[in-house]
Structure 1
């Protein structure tokens, strides 16, 4: 007789771990399926110098405080260590090396297939693969003819292979500016953006901005009540000053590629060694394609506040702006996971 879980969670990054915590707390029979061999989500793939944009004090998953100095900005390695420690601390039910390839639903039960040819069954499914696993690269005129190096920021690790190059970083967010800033120390770097860069002070009146977001309630406001600052770069002053010094410089987005460079807005052509796209990600939910109506024409989930609008029993945690400005962050996945698990428990009670 096949075993049917109350819930199967896909992905054991920050979103999956927070979801598992609340499922376990509510005594639901669950299993987390993780594609890789560790419980750290997309964090191992990020560039080496990445640090959190929020202090440790505001970067914890539910039930377990981020260790160490609460005012510091944790490094990539520290986040990975914390996520692994979190899963071990709560002894969460996670099966690694199980990449989900397809989700189907038959007679009210979800059937989840993995790359190991294993099949799992569940009454509900939570897609917790988040927004940081599927690269988003804009379709720019001539991109296919460009013969020099072009990479997504997820492929960038450190400055070693880019010394004395002419580099263009595309994008105006935190990662774009952070990558361009460190590369500008060893190469000639330009940040190309469609709008001027916007900077938000990291600290106000001696407190990190996340302190003010938390005490004012802005961090968890519903999106319809939130003014957007998510394209601003959080900065203690070093990035803005560096851009003012043209280290790196900022220029309007180039118009097109050539075989060995780009054509800028003013019509000038320039040879470029490397183009780095810090242009974000799309939800990694290709395994849901067999669920007719689960995704829109672009492959994005049809959901509202983490609840599928078309498939009963299908949920999401970790999507950008899912319920609030902070939804896809370490500090934001907890409230969203709690909300989704509450819906799952209500559905389970209705089914009994």
Structure 2
């Protein structure tokens, strides 16, 4: 059994930011537990061409500037390399290949049990695993009859494997648009979504959208609950919208069911398809917290701003709209981590 001041579960952007800031709040012996073979969270598993919609200057974690031109939009591999470099500087003992099985609080102490049987204890624990480990798959009738492939965006890497095929991409967010645009270069591609695509200009009045969010303080304003209800918008400087037009990627209302050869649209028209690719997001789950007391009966975190309300010494970092519009982003996790750590402060 090993003891620490603080245990952070998850070594993605949220966990790394939390561990980096922890000493400022009295936590000196800190463990960072990561299920994967290296730090970086879900970033190494994202599709090859993924491009951030925030410039490098707004994509940094606490204490380390994102390198290179601050006005460029970094690609996936740049983020992966940045997180690797950041992890080397984090003042914590990072344990990779350590998947957490359960977390319990008893006698004023937290016990974290790994799936391999190792046990760790600490006075405080922060869950920073996010939601990218649980792809959401909508329940559409007839899926079991479909003779093609149904994939999630989590399984997608590059368009080459889909050359010459008929692909229906499901989703209306940034990832769905990026994937559909590049699939359109090699495949007969249709974009299916429940509502028309809501486009947001990437550089209104010549300034990046994130510059405006920071200047207006919409990132941290109390209207965050209202923002959480606003339909997802696709941030674009015109590149992706033009690409969809150029490659003939048509948007259609979501299909109603699968057939053995494809899908059926709302008007009853049938469409043949080889692949249906679901860019339908992820769901927040914490299977290792089922016996912790930190979750409600529905499995959702019981918290206020990331501070657990049902158990002492426990927090969350990296949840969407946890405290602000940017809580789930590279630029926002550090702010939330500092808030949570300040309230779990040791000493």
TM-score (norm 2): 0.95
Alignment-derived partner of residue 14 in structure 2: 15
TM-score (norm 1): 0.94
The secondary structure found in structure 2 opposite 1:219 is: coil
Alignment-derived partner of residue 103 in structure 2: 103
**Inter-CA distance 229–294: structure 2 relative to 1 (3 Å threshold):** closer
The secondary structure found in structure 2 opposite 1:234 is: strand
Alignment-derived partner of residue 237 in structure 1: 238
Residues matched between the structures, number: 345
Asked if 2 retains the 8 angstrom alpha-carbon contact of 1:327 and 1:336, the reply is: yes
Alignment-derived partner of residue 269 in structure 1: 270
Gaps of 5+ in 1: none
Between stretches 131-140 and 287-296, larger displacement belongs to 287-296
CA distance in 2, matches of 1:246, 1:90: 45
CA distance in 1, matches of 2:13, 2:48: 19
The secondary structure found in structure 1 opposite 2:331 is: coil
CA distance in 2, matches of 1:129, 1:295: 18
Alignment-derived partner of residue 5 in structure 1: 4
Residue 290, structure 1, aligned to residue 291, structure 2: yes
Asked if 1 retains the 8 angstrom alpha-carbon contact of 2:140 and 2:257, the reply is: yes
Residue 154, structure 1, aligned to residue 157, structure 2: no
**Inter-CA distance 326–293: structure 2 relative to 1 (3 Å threshold):** closer
Asked if 2 retains the 8 angstrom alpha-carbon contact of 1:148 and 1:274, the reply is: yes
TM-fit CA distance, 1:228: 5.4
CA distance in 1, matches of 2:2, 2:158: 46
Asked if 2 retains the 8 angstrom alpha-carbon contact of 1:131 and 1:328, the reply is: no
Residue 88, structure 1, aligned to residue 88, structure 2: yes
CA distance in 2, matches of 1:205, 1:246: 28
**Inter-CA distance 272–20: structure 2 relative to 1 (3 Å threshold):** same
CA distance in 1, matches of 2:141, 2:58: 41
Deviations 1:136-176 (A, max 9, x none): 11111122322310011010000111001111111000000
Asked if 2 retains the 8 angstrom alpha-carbon contact of 1:294 and 1:311, the reply is: no
**Inter-CA distance 227–270: structure 2 relative to 1 (3 Å threshold):** closer
Deviations 1:237-292 (A, max 9, x none): 12223445573110000001112211101101122100111011112411111224
Deviations 1:53-103 (A, max 9, x none): 100000000111000110111111110110110111244321111111111
Cα RMSD for the two superposed structures: 1.7
CA distance in 2, matches of 1:227, 1:7: 30
CA distance in 1, matches of 2:228, 2:116: 45
